Amino acid sequence: MAVTTSDFQADILKAIAQETRLNILELLRDGERCVCEIFPAIGQEQSNVSRHLNMMQKAGILTRRKDGLKIFYAVKHAEVLAIVDLATAILKRETGDRHDLLRTG
Amino acid sequence: MAVTTSDFQADILKAIAQETRLNILELLRDGERCVCEIFPAIGQEQSNVSRHLNMMQKAGILTRRKDGLKIFYAVKHAEVLAIVDLATAILKRETGDRHDLLRTG
DNA sequence: ATACTGTATGCGCAAGCAATCATAAAGGAG
DNA sequence: CTCCTTTATGATTGCTTGCGCATACAGTAT
């Protein structure tokens, strides 16, 4: 099967397009955090958060830094948060538009 | 289960983060297209393309216009294409960085 | 009415994904 | 060394997704 550019684009976007990962990214907006800080903050299992962080790092959108026992993750590209913000903008406009959906169908 | 904002953000982003849908969006960059134009252009089944278009429209990122038999779809929010472009930018920078991965591991 | 074109949808399948529990691995402290 | 903390991973389960095939539906034309 041929591998196109949109394939890799999809990988980047898929690494962002998930609720738990969006919550993590929102936390990382303020700077790097270790797993032990993140998983209580978002109310998820440690293993689950670890997997998501690993996944995003492998996808190339997070950096990883070791400090003793702890491992700190941070957002690697500003574009990632820009994408999140654009999604928020679309969402805002959409939920605004949706008032007439009650009438239009 | 509690429904948060990141839930809806994820829905928007998921509607974009897929290879076939990215190919469709790339086509729609030049303006509205009907299903009959899209599916041969991207080499996918008509039914498959129809589903993806429907999905994106329901997600709120495409508009739908009927003209006789044909149904024309178009990108609804400029932010959608902006997101695609940001993903491309990340991808470019990443694949640039990846030269040292051959050495570093 | 029939025939044709364009689009949507039901069904099934295979693959992927997210979450949990339990456990392993890595590093620090006593 | 042992004990504890932090992170990663194997196994499992249930859910979702993307696709293809066949078929239904909608609109046009004759």
**From CA A59, how far away is CA A8, in angstroms rounded?**
9
pLDDT at A104: 46
Q: pLDDT by residue for chain B (105 residues), tens digit each? A: 577 888 899 999 999 999 999 999 999 999 999 999 999 999 999 999 999 999 999 999 999 999 999 999 999 999 999 999 999 999 999 998 665 554 544
The two counts, helices (H) then strands (E), for chain B are: 6, 3
Over residues A70-97, the pLDDT tens digits come to 999 999 999 999 999 999 999 999 998 6
The CA distance from B18 to the nearest CA of chain A, in Å, is 5
Neighbours of A16 (CB within 10 A): 26
How much is the pTM? 0.92
CB contact under 8 A, A86 and B82: yes
Q: Pick out the nucleotide with least CA–C1' distance to A68.
A: C27
User: How far, in Å, are A4, A20, A69, B83, B88 from residue A59 at the CA level?
Assistant: 16, 16, 23, 17, 13
For chain A, what is the mean pLDDT? 92
Q: Is the pLDDT of residue A61 over 90?
A: yes
**From CA B15, how far away is CA A13, in angstroms rounded?**
10
